[in-house]
Amino acid sequence: MSPALLPLLVIVPLLSAALLAVARHVEVLRRAVLLGVSAFALVFGTVLCFTSWDGVVTAHAVGLWPSGIAIPFVADMFSALMITVTALLTLLCSMFAIVSGDDRRPYFSALVLMLSAGVYGALLTGDLFNLFVFIEVMLLPSYGLIAVLGGRDRLPAGRLYVAMNLLTSTIFVAGVGLVYGTAGTVNIAELAGAAAESPAVAAAASVPLIALSVKAAVVPVHGWLTSTYPATSPALTALFSGLHTKVAVYAIYRIYAVVFDGGTAYTGLVLLVLSLTMLVGVFGAVGQESMRSILVFNMVSGIGYILLGVALFGPLGLMAGIFYLVHHMIVKASLLLSTGAVEVSYGTGRLGSVGGIARTEPLIAAAFMGSALSLAGIPPFSGFVGKVAIVKAAVDEQQIAIAVVAVVVSLFSLMSVLRIWRGVFWGRAHEDEVHAVSARRPGALLTHAPPALALPGLVLTVVTLGIGLGGQGLLVLSEQAAAGLLDVSGYIEAVIGS
Amino acid sequence: MSLALVVGVLVAGGTFLVLQRGMVRIAFGFVLLGHAANLVLLSAGGAARRGEPLLSIADLATAADPLPQAFVLTAIVIAFAITIYMLTLAGAGEGDDDTEDRR
């Protein structure tokens, strides 16, 4: 693919968002554009995966400015993989939102497209300041979405969400200033290895890393995530869980690998923090009383697993981390969409206030159970491969304690999702629920959730099963992505030479 | 030195305001923090050279570094948009703008 096509991934969603902001009352157009653009990004990402095969890096100097001045857009296997998965999630969450009625809210489609443009831009850019700009492009529509959708807690949640993100963005941009002041450039390729050589650059570059860790919801700065995500609509929680924290994780991987060259000075401290992230997340999940709170706490725990990859570094660690990242994005979105389907159809997500969903909604129950087992790491789902790879990487680096924590946390995360199973899917349907459903839609049987609502979650469950059975496929892709992070010469050559 | 002191004062004031309960105060706190970040960005280009960075007329020895100025311009626009939005959030909902009163 010609490198000059890379900016299309940002331009197309942005222009479509502008179009939909104007033509927002034409329902057919709105839905067609929303799904069409995400499908386009999915195809684009898949093509990028093919062109990035075997360490080929595609780079384009936006605006054809000379290199060093231009903002580079860079696609290697890691970013191509991320783009593909985010596009898939955006597509399925948009389908869910169309069925659940969220897309009838003013500007919903335009905001989602704008958000996805920011995500693709952040995944492609090779410039720290431009990364800040694209993260803001991603966040501003999210502020709007969180204030428009959701229950009565959405306003306090929106305030907290904006305040937290603005604070971290401010810290991030100040850190970019410090990097520029110490290294004289914010081009990631030109910064390669700079932090490993100069302590001043390392101190400066750690400021953006810390800001990104807050955005990724690493314990002890995870509180914003668990108190805002459950307050929005289910479709939005699934979308945000797939995109926001994961963009931060991607940026941490990229900056740490290229700028710090994978230095090991603080590995012990980082491993301690990540173990706490896994433990606190999963213990929080066990104690929650609604489906979405449980899943959101599990997400915090998952962030710990994902970042273990970059903390352990090395070919195996990075490969395991990237594999787990992809797996986690898919599985988490699947779980949130399945439980979201229940929530949308029955009007509540509290454990024990609905029951017998397994009998009345077999499709949703199957999708949920598959992904729940995958989250806990039970074969033949992708979670098993991901967790084995993480544990093996930890053992290879002689971090036995980390391996033990990872296994123990898996057991507790199984327990937390089984609580959802017992509290919502198992048991008998509540009499008053039956009445409530038939009162809302007279003549409807208890089924109640249209199959189209169950479909997005089911598709993702099939994907996680596929990745689990054919684990080698994604492992090879992750291995190549990890190789691109370990040996950054191809990345640098593509950017500086473009 | 004076830049560093101003950044310090702005961060102190901003931190104090952000920790208040009222949403309007929080928004003002972020205005101060944003200014502090902008000054950090500006100082990254060096405060000694202050000539106009226009290639045709500038003396390169005295011209300021234009890149941090471009950074700051971008950051100001973004911060401005978010400030307006925060003030909207402060005005939305019932009663006053207290963020601890969760209903």
Q: What is the pLDDT of residues B52-88, one digit of tens each?
A: 888 788 787 888 888 899 999 999 999 999 999 999 8
The Cα of B19 is separated from the nearest Cα of chain A by a number of Å equal to: 11
Confirm or reject contact between A155 and chain B (CB < 8 A).
yes
Domain count of the fold of chain B: 1
The residues that bridge with A49 in the sheet, in sequence order, are: none
Minimal Cβ distance to B82: which of A133, A162, A173: A162
Q: Which residues pair with B63 in a beta bridge?
A: B51
- The rounded distance, in Å, linking the Cα atoms of B51 and B45 is 12
pLDDT of A359 > 90? The answer is no
Query: Is B102's Cβ below 8 Å from some Cβ in A?
Result: yes
Residue B36 falls within a domain, yes or no? yes
Cβ A176–B26 below 8 Å, yes or no? no
Residue A15 vs residue A437, higher pLDDT = A15
* Contact criterion met (CB < 8 Å) for A167 and B89: no
Say if residues A438 and A444 touch (Cβ distance below 8 Å). Answer: yes
Domain range list for chain A: 3-497
Query: Do the domain assignments include residue B98?
Result: no
- What pLDDT is recorded for position A437? 54
Q: Report the pLDDT value the prediction gives residue A345, as an integer from 0 to 100.
A: 85
- What is the pTM (predicted TM-score) of this model? 0.94
Q: What is the pLDDT of residue A442?
A: 45
pLDDT digits (tens, 9 = 90+) for A71-98: 999 999 999 999 999 999 999 999 999 9
Task: With cut-offs at 50, 70 and 90, classify the pLDDT of residue A251.
Answer: very high
Which of 132-151 (A) contact B at CB < 8 A? 132-133, 136, 140, 143-144, 147
**Cα–Cα distance measured from residue A216 to residue A219, given in angstroms and rounded to the nearest whole number:** 9
pLDDT digit string (tens) for A320-340? Answer: 999 999 999 999 999 999 999
**Could you tell me which chain A residue has the CA closest to the CA of B37?**
A174
In terms of pLDDT, which residue wins out, A227 or B100? A227
pLDDT at A470 (0 to 100): 87
Do residues A481 and A322 make contact, with C-beta atoms less than 8 angstroms apart? yes
CB A17 within 8 A of CB A110: yes
When scoring A165, A170, A201 by the number of chain B Cβ atoms within 10 A, the one with the most, hence best to mutate, is A170
Mutate which of A69, A143, A154, A166 to test chain B, going by most B C-beta atoms within 10 A? A166
| d(CA A212, nearest CA chain B) in Å | 16
DSSP A280: H
Contacting residues of B for A136, CB less than 8 Å apart: 78
Cα distance between residue A407 and residue A401, in whole Å: 10
ipTM of the complex: 0.94
In the prediction, which pLDDT does A445 show?
Answer: 44
Q: Does A158 touch chain B (CB under 8 A)?
A: yes
**Contact of A409 with A390, CB cutoff 8 Å:** no
What DSSP character marks residue A424? I
Amino acid identity, position B7: V
pLDDT tens across A25-59, in order? Answer: 888 999 999 999 999 999 999 999 999 988 899 99
A35 contact B CB<8A: no
Q: Please tell me which of the candidates B18, B71, B78 has its beta carbon nearest to residue A136.
A: B78
- Nearest Cβ partner of A140 from B36, B43, B81? B81
Cα A426 from Cα A448, distance rounded (Å): 17
Of A163, A169, A181, the CB nearest to B44: A181
Residue B10 lies in a domain: yes
Give φ, ψ of A125 to 5 degrees.
Answer: -70, 150
Contact status of B41 with chain A (Cβ, < 8 Å) = yes
Residue B96 lies in a domain: no
C-alpha to C-alpha distance for A257 and A431, rounded to whole angstroms:
56
Decide if B99 is inside a domain.
no
Question: Which residue of B40, B43, B89 is in closest CB contact with A147?
Answer: B89
**Residue B23 counted as domain residue:** yes
Average pLDDT over residues A368-386: 92
* Residue A203 in contact with partner chain B when CB distance is under 8 A: no
Considering the domain boundaries, does residue B63 fall inside one?
yes
For residue B23, the one-letter residue type is M
Residue A1 has pLDDT above 60, yes or no: yes
Q: Does B92 touch chain A (CB under 8 A)?
A: yes
In the predicted model, what is the mean pLDDT of residues A364-378?
A: 92
What CA–CA distance (Å, rounded) separates A167 from B34?
Answer: 9
Query: By the 8 A CB rule, do B38 and B60 touch?
Result: no
Q: How many CB pairs under 8 A join A and B?
A: 82
Confidence at residue B32, expressed as pLDDT on a 0 to 100 scale: 96
φ, ψ for residue B56 (rounded to 5)? -75, -35
**Choosing among B82, B97, B103, which should be mutated to test the A contact, i.e. which has the most A CBs within 10 A?**
B82
Is B41–A173 a contact, with Cβ atoms under 8 angstroms apart?
A: yes
**A-interface mutation test, from B3, B7, B31, B41, most A Cβ less than 10 A away:** B41
- Asked if A155 and B86 come within 8 Å (Cβ–Cβ), the reply is no
Residue A85 · residue A44 · CB < 8 Å: no
Query: B85 and chain A: CB distance < 8 Å anywhere?
Result: yes
Q: Which residues of A touch B13 (CB under 8 A)?
A: none
pLDDT digits (tens, 9 = 90+) for A231-245: 889 999 999 998 999
Alpha carbon distances (Å) from B40 to A208, A324, B63, B75: 14, 37, 19, 12
| Contact flag A180-B68 (C-beta cutoff 8 Å) | yes
User: What's the mean per-residue pLDDT of chain B?
Assistant: 87
pLDDT at A434: 54
Measured between beta carbons, which residues in chain B are less than 8 angstroms from residue A180?
Answer: 41, 44-45, 67-68, 71
What pLDDT is recorded for position A436?
A: 56
Q: For residue A429, give the DSSP letter.
A: P
CB contact under 8 A, B99 and A162: no
The Cα–Cα gap between A470 and A468 comes to: 6
* Encoded amino acid at B48, one letter: A
B49 pLDDT above the threshold of 90: no
B102, part of any domain:
no
Contact A117, A10 (CB under 8 A): yes
- How far CA A54 is from CA of A76, A82, A327, A490, in Å, comes to 10, 17, 22, 11
CB-based contact A83:A48 (threshold 8 Å): yes
Q: Would you place residue A352 in the very low, low, confident or very high pLDDT band (cuts 50, 70, 90)?
A: confident
Which residue of A lies nearest to B44 if distances are taken between CA atoms? A181
% residues pLDDT > 90 (chain A)? 68
Q: What is the pLDDT of residue B72?
A: 93
Q: Which of residues 82-141 of A touch B (CB under 8 A)?
A: 129, 132-133, 136, 140
Local confidence band at A68 (pLDDT 50, 70, 90 cut-offs): confident
* DSSP code, position A488: T
pLDDT given at position A449: 76
State mean pLDDT over A373-378: 91
Q: What is the mean pLDDT of chain A?
A: 90
The answer to whether B81 contacts chain A (CB < 8 Å) is yes
Q: Which two tokens stand for residue B76?
A: 């100001």
Residues in chain A within 8 Å Cβ distance of B44: 177-178, 180-181
Q: Does A180 touch chain B (CB under 8 A)?
A: yes
